[in-house]
Chain A
Amino acid sequence: MKKRKFRPFWSYDVLKTEAWLNSMASKGWVLTKIHFSRRLFVFEKGEVRNTDLKIIYDKNTFGAPEMIKEDTSFEEVLAEKHYYVLNVLDSTSEYIPSHEKLLSRNQKIKYVVGLILLINIMMTMFPMLIITFAIIFGEGITFESTEVMESSPYTLGEIVVGIIQIFLYLFSLMIPTWMIYTYFKLGKSNKRLIKECGVNLDVKFTTPNNKISSKEEWKEMKKSNKLVRKIKIGWFYSPDKIEAWLEGMEKKGFNLLRMSKLGNSFYFEKGIPRNVKYHVDYQNKNDHDYFNINKESGWDLFFTSVTRFFAFSVWGQVYDEQMPTFYTDKETKIKHAKRLAISFTIWMIPMAILYIGLSILYFTSFTSFDELDFSSWLLFTPIMFLIVALEYSIFTYRIIRYYFRIKKSVV
């Protein structure tokens, strides 16, 4: 006897799918094949078994790697392109394959879907806002129709076209629905998967939990004059300078306690002068060993923003004589600075050009300078655009300068 089950969104919550497969096995349904492209699971009636099945995604291999196949604590149930299913026979086994790659894939999907949704929302919001403004401040819009509807019965062709249009309309509704579902479902299950992958991020928004004191304590600290708050804006465009500044503060006896949520203020406690090495790191943490390796190497986390776009972390380490280094070889050090510079300039340069273009467009739209009254409020918009363009240019300049400073310091 065979059973076929269609599970279109099985990968959105792989832990749930695995639990479902195990429950099927405990009812005597043996998994014989998965058609991943059709999201179809095929079972056959067989003996009742207690299983611990794991679906592993790995783009690089077909089926489980040799080492797993040779290991008697695993049994390869089936292998397909990019995926294989393992039954963990011995749960005390030293090592098990991790879901990390699937998690990373799901995070990528969530990111792309979220971006498309955001763009769509913005694109629908602007016309709606303009219409609302037009209705409120405009003289009112009247719609007049001069066409007279014909009351003749529809022909067969028109009905068919009409039905196709309805289907197309429904289909076009399905895509945003799917996207919203994907975004929220993945958001939820990724959190569980992150835990499953052994990541204890221990972070509240951007502040590590060990840096957060209770509200009362924090209030008391703020009252006492031990606490010093320094505000820095846009420091992440020259990370090496902020590192040096923090190290200098420590040498003066200002010990960094924590940073604010958005990372623009630094709270210091007046203490003893220390030798601390700081490192501002820019890293897409789509795999989670990042925190483990750094923490075990003695680095203390002060700030981290876990988004793909603004992926800064601030690490510090107290030392006696030997100064610790985050990047010990030239190659990775330069690469890090390069990635940081590129990921910002890639959108800041177009933005600067866009705003310069917009302001030029505004200026030239004034027919002649004779008519131009410099007190005119019309000038406000293009000047604002110029200021924004200037800001983007300064940021770009600073980040490129940072890259060359790092490059020079290494060679």
Chain B
Amino acid sequence: MNKKLASWIPLSETAYYILLSLNIPRHGYGIIKYVEELTKGRIVLGSGTIYTTIGKMKKANLIMVFQDKKRKTVYELTTLGRELLELEIARIKKVYQDTLLQEGLYNEKEKV
């Protein structure tokens, strides 16, 4: 695995949702709104948190910066960012599977 990426794993929930929301290029505020929608209001990211995390990701070359027609900043994943997201999705899927399995065992124990 890429050494640069190793330090990011596991991603914080904020960082994970930022990457996850960038399936298309989005504005900073667009990310906040999309994450709120995606999680049905469970996660409403603060603007300071978004700005700081994105800044860190830009430095690590996970995200790159564009401008839209109104010259507003737009963020998009880089190849490295996409690689990290794929690794994290695979990891979280395993976590989810393990959780379901173990949760089942707990429930069986209760029945007995």
Which residues of A pack against B, CB within 8 Å? Answer: 58, 60-61, 65-67, 92, 94-98, 100-101, 196-198, 279, 281, 283, 287-290, 292-294, 296-297, 299, 324-329, 331-333, 335-336
Contacts and interface: CB of A to CB of B under 8 A. Distances in A.
A328 B46 contact: yes
B99 interface: no
B22 to A, nearest CB: 12
Interface stretch (B49-57, B84-92, B101-109): B49-57
Given A97-B64, A289-B73, A297-B29, 11 more contacts: A95-B76, A96-B66, A96-B67, A279-B48, A287-B58, A287-B65, A292-B73, A294-B48, A296-B29, A326-B48, A327-B52
Interface in B17-62: 25, 27-29, 32, 44-55, 58, 61
A144 B49 CA distance: 69
A308 to B, nearest CB: 15
A196 B67 CA distance: 10
A265 B28 CA distance: 32
Best-surrounded residue of B25, B28, B51, B76 (most CB of chain A within 10 A): B51
Contacts, number: 114
A293 B50 contact: yes
A329 B12 CA distance: 9
11 contacts: A101-B65, A198-B70, A281-B48, A288-B73, A292-B29, A292-B72, A293-B27, A293-B28, A294-B48, A297-B32, A329-B12
Contacts of B53: 332
For chain B, give the interface size range: 35 or more
Contacts of B72: 198, 292
Best-surrounded residue of A101, A279, A297, A326 (most CB of chain B within 10 A): A297
A98 B12 contact: no
Contact of A292 (B13, B25, B28): B28
A288 B65 CA distance: 11
A95 B46 contact: no
B71 interface: yes
Given A198-B70, A329-B12, A297 B47 contact: yes
Contacts of A299: 47
Contact of B49 (A58, A94, A327): A327
B79 A65 contact: yes
| Chain B residues touching A, majority SS | mixed
Contacts of B52: 327, 332, 335-336
A196 B73 CA distance: 11
Best-surrounded residue of A293, A294, A331, A333 (most CB of chain B within 10 A): A293
Interface of B: 12-14, 25, 27-29, 32, 44-55, 58, 61, 64-74, 76, 78-79
B42 to A, nearest CB: 12
A294 B51 contact: yes
Best-surrounded residue of B25, B44, B45, B67 (most CB of chain A within 10 A): B67
Contacts of B64: 58, 60, 65, 97
B66 A289 contact: no
A323 to B, nearest CB: 11
B17 to A, nearest CB: 11
Given A98-B65, A289-B73, A331 B12 contact: yes
A325 B28 contact: no
A57 to B, nearest CB: 11
A95 B49 contact: no
Contacts of B61: 60-61
A305 B24 CA distance: 34
Given A283-B51, A292-B27, A95 B70 contact: no
Nearest to A290: B51
A332 B67 contact: no
A196 B8 CA distance: 33
A294 B47 contact: yes
A5 to B, nearest CB: 28
B67 to A, nearest CB: 4
Contacts of B69: 92, 94
A114 B52 CA distance: 27
Given A198-B71, A329-B14, A97 B46 contact: no
A287 B14 CA distance: 20
Contact of B67 (A67, A92, A98, A281): A98
A82 to B, nearest CB: 13
Contact of B47 (A95, A100, A293): A293
